[in-house]
C-alpha cells in the first residue's frame, strides 16, 4: 500500500506552495530531460530546461532541487580551470539558493535536505566567509525528520523514466547515513578551522596583555616623576660627602610618625596625614604593605592567594573532573636532560651503523651505544638545522608545554624516516627509538621535516609569543625600597643598606617590622651619595602625589577587568579544547575498535585457515549490531566514513546508486588504509589540542599573575614619596645651615685678618680716631642692610631697591669705592661719598691697582648674582614659598689676591691657604647663597 506524500509547511518568508504535484508526469519528464542533457555534456541546455519549467511552475520543489543539483555539477566542472573560479563560486551560491527554496517547499524530504547540505558544504570549502556550521545545522534538520517524504528525488533514478520511485526503509536509512556523513565531515573541517582561529586568538590576547601591562607600568611610574634641581643636588652632595656624619645619615632614614604628621600639618595637607595614618593602621592589621581588590566585586583581601582563589571560585569557575582528566601529562626530566645533552650534532650514519653492528655482535647491553662517543661529521647545513630543532624543543620544555603525545608523534616521525636507512631491529636494540637524539642521524630533508613539525606545532599553540611574554614578565619586575616599622609602629625607617648604594633590596612587602636593619654595620668608607640622587628625584608636591595615588587605585580596577576578560576567554578556550579532545578520543577509540575487528579476522584466518570474511562485510555486520542496540549511531557514522572513503569528501557524490557501487568495490587494503588514515588524522589533531591545552594553562597562569599585579596596591607607593618629602626638607636644611656656618666662619676670619692689617696702617699714618669712627659707622650700616628681594616683598621703595642692587663687595658701580676691607656689607653710594679719605700717594697707587682687579671681580659677581636670583625665583615660585635669599656672593677663588696683597703691603698667602684647609672649603662652598 502506497503512502501518501505529506504536505509541506510553507516558510513564513515565502509564498505558500501551489497545487503543483511534483509527481506529475509533465514536471518529472521535464526535469528528467534536463538531467539527461547534463550527463550528455550540455550543462547550459540543462539549466535552460529547468528554468523553463520553473517559469511555469515556480513552486515546484522538484524543479528547484534539480536546478541546485545542476549548478553544483557545473561548479565541479569549473574547478578544472583556475580561471573559472569566480564562475564556480557563483554556481555554488545559486545551488545553495535553489536547494534552500526546495526544502522550504518540501520540508520533509531527506533528498532535498541532502542537496542543501551538500551545496552548503561546497560553499564552506570555497568561500572563507561561509562556515561549516550551516552544513551541520542542515544535516541535523534533515535527520530530525521522523516521517520523511516517501518519494525519492534522486536524479540518477529519474533517468530510468520512472515518474515515481517509492523509498524503502533501507533507502531512507541510506539518506540519513549520508547526512550523518556530511555532518561528520563538517565537524572535522570546523575543527581544522578552529585550530587556525585559536592560533590568531592566542596571538591577539597575548598582544592585548602586553598593551594593558604597558599602561599599568606607565601609571605606576607617575608616582615617581623625576625633577632635578642641579644646584640643590650639588650643594646637598657636597654636604653629604664632606661634612655629614654617619649617625646623622642613619637618623635621616628613620622618621617618627608624629614628625611626619606634623610636617604635613604645616603644609596644610590633611589628605596626606589621612593616607599616612591609613597605611599605618592597615599594615598593623594585615602585616603587609599590599592589599588586593577584586576587579569584579571590589572585595579587598590581605593576601594574593585569597584574591586569586576568590576570583576563580566565585567569578570564573573551574573545569569539571571529566575535562581535567584529559589534561596531558608533561614529559619526564630525562627528556630535558636529552635536549641539554652535548651530543647534538650531525652523525656519520654509515659509521654509526657499523658501530652498532659491532656492538650487537659483542652482545653488549642495550644502552651501550648511547653512551659511546658517536661518529660525528662536519656538515654545517645539518648542524644548523639540528640547532634550530634543539632550540624549539628547549622552548617547549622551558614553559612545560612538551607532553607525551608530542614526544610520541615526534619519535614516530623520526623512526619512520630512519627505518629507510637503518634496520628497525638495530634501532630498537640500541634504544634509538627512545631518544630524541636519534634526530642527529637524519639527513637535511628529513631534519627539515622534523623542524616543520615542531614549528607548526609551536605556531598552532602560540608558543613563541607566550615565551616572549614570559621573558618580559621576568624583566619587568617592579623594584621597591625596603620600608619597615619599629615594634610599636611609632617610627618608619628605610633599610640602612641604602647608604651603601643598595637602594632597592629584595622585599615582597610582607616584612613590615624588622630589627635586622639595626644589626647592619656600615663603615664610614662604605657610604655613597647614590641615595642623594634617589632622595632628590621626584616632585615634592604632595597634592599631586596623592591625586596620582587615588587615580592608581581606581585605574587598577579597570585594568584588572580588562585582564579578567582575557582570563575568561582563555578559560573558555581551555573548556572547548578539552571537550573536543574528549570527542576525538571517542572517535579514535571507535576507529580502533573497527580496526581490531579486522585484525581479529586476520588472526582467525591464519589460525584456522578458513575462508576469510571481507572487511566490508565485517563492518556491515557491526553496523547491524549497533542498530539493534538502538545506539546513538556514532560508530555507525564512523563505519560509513570508512566505507565511503574520500569519495564523498572530494566529489560530494550525490547519487546513492553510484556510491553503493563504489563501496561494493572496496577491497580490504583500502578499508584498512582508510581506518589508519582516519586514526592518523584525528591523532594529529589530538597532539595539537594537547599543545593548546598546555600553552593555555601557562597563559592563564600568566594572566592570573598579571591580575594579581594590577589589582595590588602597595602603600609604599605613596608612603615613599611622602617620606622623601620630609627627608629632603631635613637634608636641605642641614646642608644650608652647614653652608651658612662655614660662610660666617670665613667671613669672620677675613674680617679679623683685614681689620688687624688696616689698623696697623692707620696707626702708622696717625689716623686712629677717624678710622675707628668710620669703621663703627660702616658696621651700623651693615646691621641695617636689606636685600632687593626683601625690600620688594615688604614694599620698599624703588629708590631703595636700586641703591641696594648697585652695591657688591668689594667693588661698587664706579671707581671711587672705599678700600677699607672691613666693609663687607652692602653700603649705599651716598654713604661712601659722605666719607672723606685722605690717601698718601703710595696708598693711591695701591688703590688704583686694587680697583683694577676689584672691578673685574665685581662684574663676574654681578652676573652670577643675577643668574642665581633668576634661578631661585623660578624654583621657589613653583613651590609657592618665596624664601628670603642673600645676594652676597664672594668668589675667593677667582679673586686676584696677589695684587690685593701688594696693595695692602701684607703677605697673606700662607694664612689664607691654612684657613681654607681648616674649614675644608672649596671655591663652590664659598659661593653658597646665604639664607636669612
Provide, rounded to the nearest whole percent, the portion of the chain with pLDDT above 90: 32
pLDDT at 116 over 80: yes
Most confident of 222-236, 544-558, 629-643: 544-558
Inter-residue contact 305 to 748 (CB < 8 Å)? no
pLDDT in tens, 29-80: 888 889 888 888 898 999 999 999 999 999 999 999 999 999 998 888 766 6
Helical (H) or strand (E) element with 290: strand 290-293
CB 472: neighbour CB atoms within 10 A?
A: 12
Q: How confident is the model at residue 875 (pLDDT cuts 50, 70, 90)?
A: low
- Note the pLDDT of residue 210: 87
The pLDDT, as a whole number, for residue 184 is: 83
Question: Is residue 542 within 8 Å of 264, Cβ to Cβ?
Answer: yes
Which has the higher per-residue pLDDT, 476 or 328? 328
The CATH code of the domain at 25-157 is: 1.25.40.10
Q: Are strands 712-714 and 290-293 parallel, antiparallel or unpaired?
A: antiparallel
pLDDT for res 796 = 44
Whether the per-residue pLDDT at 384 is higher than 60: the answer is: yes
pLDDT at 814: 41
Cα–Cα–Cα angle for 810, 816, 819, rounded to 5 degrees: 45
What 8-state DSSP symbol labels residue 563?
H
The domain locations on the chain are: 25-157, 329-461, 580-708
Tell me what pLDDT residue 92 has: 93
Q: Which residues contact 411 (CB under 8 A, 6 or more apart)?
A: 433, 434, 436, 438
Nearest to 434 by CA among 407, 465, 406: 407
3-state SS string for 315-365: HHCCCCHHHHCCCCCECCHHHHHHHHCCCCCCECHHHHHHHHHHHHHCCCC
Q: What residues are paired with 330 via a beta bridge?
A: 403
Whole-number pLDDT of residue 84: 63
923 confidence band (pLDDT: 50, 70, 90):
very low
Q: How far apart are the first and last CA of the chain?
A: 122
Three-class SS string for 31-68? Answer: HHHHHHHHHCCCHHHHHHHHHHHHHHCCCCHHHHHHHH
* Mean pLDDT lowest among 13-17, 19-23, 407-411, 500-504: 13-17
Residue 832 has pLDDT above 50, yes or no: no
Q: Binning pLDDT at 50, 70 and 90, where does residue 794 land? A: very low
147 or 509, higher pLDDT = 147
| DSSP 8-class letter at 301 | E
Is residue 738 scored above 60 in pLDDT? yes
Give the pLDDT mean for 718-731.
91
Mean pLDDT over each residue of the chain, to the nearest integer: 76
Query: In angstroms, rounded to a whole number, what is the distance separating the alpha carbons of residues 852 and 842?
Result: 16
Q: What is the secondary structure of 114-183 as a DSSP string? A: HHHHHHHHHHHHH-TTS-THHHHHHHHHHHT-SS--SB---HHHHTTT-S--BPPHHHHHHHHHHHHHHH
CA distance 889 to 857: 11
pTM over 0.75: no
Average the pLDDT over each of 113-117, 151-155, 201-205 and give the range with the smallest value.
151-155
Q: Higher model confidence: residue 861 or residue 207?
A: 207
Cell numbers at 543, concatenated: 597634592
Confidence of residue 616 (pLDDT cuts 50, 70, 90): confident
pLDDT tens per residue, range 415-425: 999 999 999 99
Cβ partners under 8 Å of residue 434, min gap 6: 411
Place 188 in a pLDDT band, splitting at 50, 70 and 90: confident
Residue 719 has pLDDT above 80, yes or no: yes
Cell of 401: 608545554
CB 751 within 8 A of CB 822: yes
> pLDDT higher for 644 or 450?
450
Which segment of 275-289, 342-356, 637-651, 746-760 scores lowest on mean pLDDT?
Answer: 637-651
With a CB cutoff of 8 Å and minimum separation 6, the contacts of 255 are 491, 492, 493, 723, 726, 727
Angle at 465 between CA 464 and CA 467, to 5 degrees: 65
Predicted confidence band at 100 (pLDDT cuts at 50, 70, 90)?
very high
Query: In the predicted model, is pLDDT for residue 898 greater than 80?
Result: no
CA dihedral 519→525→530→531, nearest 10 degrees, is: 40
pLDDT at position 533 is 86
Residue 280 CA: distances (Å) to CA of 258, 261, 289, 569, 715: 12, 12, 9, 39, 9
Mean pLDDT to the nearest integer, 207-225 = 79
State the DSSP code for 95.
H
190 has a pLDDT exceeding 80: yes
pLDDT over threshold 90, residue 405: yes
The larger pLDDT score, comparing residue 747 to residue 683, is at: 683
pLDDT band at 242 (very low <50, low <70, confident <90, very high): confident
Q: Is the pLDDT of residue 695 over 80?
A: yes
Ranking 84-93, 499-508, 721-730 by mean pLDDT, the lowest is 499-508
Please state, in angstroms and rounded to a whole number, the distance separating the CA atoms of residues 59 and 46. Answer: 19
**Stretch 310-315: mean pLDDT, rounded?**
93
Amino acid at each position: 500500500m502506497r503512502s501518501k506524500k505529506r504536505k509541506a509547511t510553507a516558510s513564513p518568508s515565502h509564498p505558500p506552495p501551489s497545487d503543483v504535484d511534483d509527481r506529475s508526469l509533465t514536471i518529472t519528464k521535464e526535469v528528467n530531460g534536463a538531467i539527461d542533457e547534463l550527463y550528455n555534456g550540455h550543462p547550459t541546455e540543462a539549466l535552460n530546461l529547468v528554468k523553463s519549467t520553473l517559469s511555469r511552475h515556480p513552486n515546484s520543489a522538484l524543479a528547484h532541487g534539480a536546478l541546485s543539483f545542476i549548478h553544483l555539477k557545473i561548479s565541479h566542472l569549473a574547478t578544472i580551470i583556475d580561471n573559472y573560479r569566480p564562475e564556480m563560486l557563483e554556481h555554488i551560491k545559486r545551488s545553495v539558493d535553489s536547494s534552500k527554496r526546495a526544502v522550504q517547499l518540501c520540508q520533509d524530504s531527506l533528498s532535498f535536505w541532502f542537496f542543501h547540505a551538500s551545496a552548503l558544504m561546497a560553499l564552506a570549502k570555497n568561500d572563507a566567509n561561509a562556515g561549516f556550521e550551516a552544513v551541520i545545522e542542515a544535516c541535523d534538520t534533515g535527520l530530525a525528520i521522523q516521517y520523511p517524504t516517501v518519494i525519492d528525488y534522486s536524479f540518477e533514478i529519474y533517468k530510468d523514466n520512472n515518474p515515481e520511485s517509492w523509498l524503502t526503509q533501507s533507502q531512507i536509512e541510506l539518506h540519513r547515513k549520508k547526512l550523518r556523513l556530511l555532518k561528520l565531515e563538517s565537524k572535522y573541517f570546523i575543527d581544522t578551522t578552529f585550530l587556525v582561529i585559536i592560533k590568531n586568538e592566542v596571538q591577539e590576547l597575548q598582544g592585548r596583555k602586553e598593551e594593558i601591562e604597558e599602561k599599568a607600568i606607565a601609571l605606576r611610574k607617575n608616582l615617581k616623576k623625576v625633577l632635578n634641581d642641579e644646584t640643590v643636588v650639588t650643594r646637598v652632595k657636597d654636604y653629604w660627602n664632606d661634612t655629614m656624619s654617619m649617625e646623622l645619615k642613619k637618623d635621616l632614614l628613620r622618621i617618627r610618625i608624629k614628625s611626619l604628621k606634623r610636617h604635613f600639618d604645616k603644609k596644610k595637607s590633611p589628605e596626606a596625614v589621612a593616607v599616612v595614618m591609613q597605611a599605618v593602621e592597615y599594615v598593623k592589621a594585615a602585616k603587609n604593605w599590599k592589599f588586593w581588590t577584586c576587579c569584579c566585586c571590589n572585595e579587598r583581601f590581605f593576601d594574593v592567594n585569597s584574591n586569586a582563589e576568590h576570583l576563580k571560585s566565585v567569578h570564573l569557575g573551574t573545569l569539571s573532573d571529566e575535562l581535567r582528566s584529559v589534561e596531558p601529562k608533561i614529559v619526564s626530566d630525562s627528556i630535558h636532560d636529552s635536549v641539554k645533552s652535548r651530543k647534538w650534532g650531525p652523525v656519520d650514519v654509515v659509521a654509526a651503523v657499523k658501530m652498532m653492528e659491532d656492538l650487537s655482535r659483542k652482545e653488549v647491553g642495550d644502552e651501550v651505544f648511547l653512551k659511546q662517543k658517536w661518529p660525528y661529521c662536519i656538515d654545517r647545513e645539518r648542524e644548523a638545522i639540528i640547532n634550530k630543532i634543539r632550540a624549539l624543543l628547549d622552548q617547549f620544555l622551558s614553559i612545560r608545554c612538551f607532553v607525551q603525545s608530542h614526544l610520541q608523534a615526534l619519535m614516530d616521525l623520526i623512526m619512520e624516516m630512519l627505518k629507510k636507512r637503518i634496520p628497525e631491529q638495530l634501532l630498537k636494540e640500541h634504544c634509538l627509538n627512545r631518544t630524541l637524539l636519534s634526530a642527529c642521524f637524519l639527513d637535511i630533508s628529513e631534519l627539515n621535516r622534523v623542524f616543520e613539525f615542531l614549528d607548526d606545532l609551536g605556531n598552532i599553540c602560540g608558543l613563541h609569543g607566550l615565551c616572549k611574554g614570559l621573558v618580559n614578565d621576568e624583566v619587568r619586575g617592579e623594584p621597591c625600597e625596603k620600608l619597615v616599622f619599629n615594634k610599636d609602629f611609632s617610627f618608619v625607617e628605610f633599610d640602612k643598606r641604602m647608604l651603601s648604594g643598595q637602594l632597592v633590596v629584595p622585599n615582597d612587602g610582607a616584612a613590615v617590622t624588622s630589627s635586622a636593619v639595626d644589626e647592619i654595620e656600615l663603615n664610614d668608607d662604605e657610604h655613597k651619595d647614590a641615595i642623594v640622587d634617589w632622595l632628590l628625584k621626584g616632585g615634592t608636591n604632595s597634592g599631586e602625589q596623592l591625586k596620582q595615588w587615588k587615580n592608581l587605585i581606581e585605574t587598577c580596577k579597570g585594568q584588572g577587568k580588562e585582564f579578567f576578560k582575557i582570563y575568561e576567554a582563555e578559560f573558555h578556550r581551555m573548556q572547548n579544547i578539552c571537550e573536543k579532545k574528549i570527542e576525538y578520543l571517542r572517535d579514535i577509540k571507535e576507529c580502533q575498535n573497527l580496526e581490531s575487528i579486522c585484525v581479529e579476522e586476520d588472526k582467525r584466518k591464519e589460525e584456522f585457515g578458513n575462508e576469510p570474511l571481507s572487511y566490508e562485510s565485517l563492518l556491515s555486520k557491526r553496523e547491524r549490531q549497533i542498530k539493534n542496540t538502538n545506539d546513538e549511531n556514532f560508530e555507525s557514522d564512523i563505519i560509513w566514513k570508512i566505507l565511503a572513503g574520500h569519495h564523498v569528501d572530494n566529489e560530494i557524490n550525490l547519487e546513492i546508486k553510484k556510491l553503493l557501487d563504489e563501496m561494493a568495490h572496496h577491497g580490504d587494503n583500502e578499508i584498512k588504509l582508510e581506518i589508519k588514515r582516519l586514526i592518523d588524522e584525528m591523532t594529529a589533531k589530538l597532539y595539537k589540542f594537547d599543545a593548546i591545552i598546555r600553552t593555555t594553562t601557562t597563559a592563564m597562569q600568566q594572566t592570573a599573575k598579571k591580575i594579581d599585579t594590577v589589582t595590588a596596591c602597595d602603600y609604599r607607593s605613596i608612603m615613599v614619596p611622602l617620606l622623601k618629602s620630609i627627608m629632603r626638607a631635613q637634608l636641605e636644611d642641614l646642608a644650608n645651615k652647614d653652608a651658612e656656618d662655614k660662610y660666617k666662619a670665613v667671613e669672620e676670619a677675613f674680617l679679623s685678618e683685614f681689620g688687624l692689617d688696616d689698623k696697623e696702617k692707620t696707626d702708622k699714618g696717625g689716623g686712629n680716631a677717624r678710622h675707628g669712627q668710620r669703621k663703627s659707622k660702616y658696621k651700623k650700616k651693615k646691621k641695617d642692610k636689606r636685600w632687593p628681594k626683601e625690600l620688594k616683598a615688604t614694599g620698599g621703595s624703588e629708590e631703595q631697591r636700586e641703591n641696594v642692587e648697585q652695591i657688591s663687595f668689594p667693588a661698587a658701580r664706579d671707581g671711587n669705592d672705599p678700600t677699607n676691607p672691613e666693609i663687607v656689607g652692602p653700603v649705599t653710594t651716598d654713604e661712601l661719598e659722605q666719607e672723606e679719605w685722605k690717601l698718601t700717594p703710595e696708598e693711591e697707587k695701591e688703590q688704583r691697582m686694587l680697583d683694577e682687579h676689584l672691578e673685574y671681580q665685581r662684574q663676574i659677581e654681578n652676573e652670577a648674582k643675577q643668574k642665581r636670583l633668576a634661578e631661585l625665583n623660578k624654583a621657589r615660585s613653583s613651590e609657592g614659598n618665596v624664601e628670603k635669599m642673600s645676594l652676597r656672593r664672594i668668589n675667593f677663588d677667582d679673586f686676584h689676591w696677589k695684587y690685593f696683597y701688594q696693595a695692602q703691603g701684607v703677605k697673606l698667602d700662607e694664612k689664607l691657604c691654612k684657613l681654607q684647609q681648616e674649614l675644608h672649603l672649596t671655591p663652590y662652598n664659598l659661593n653658597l647663597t646665604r639664607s636669612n
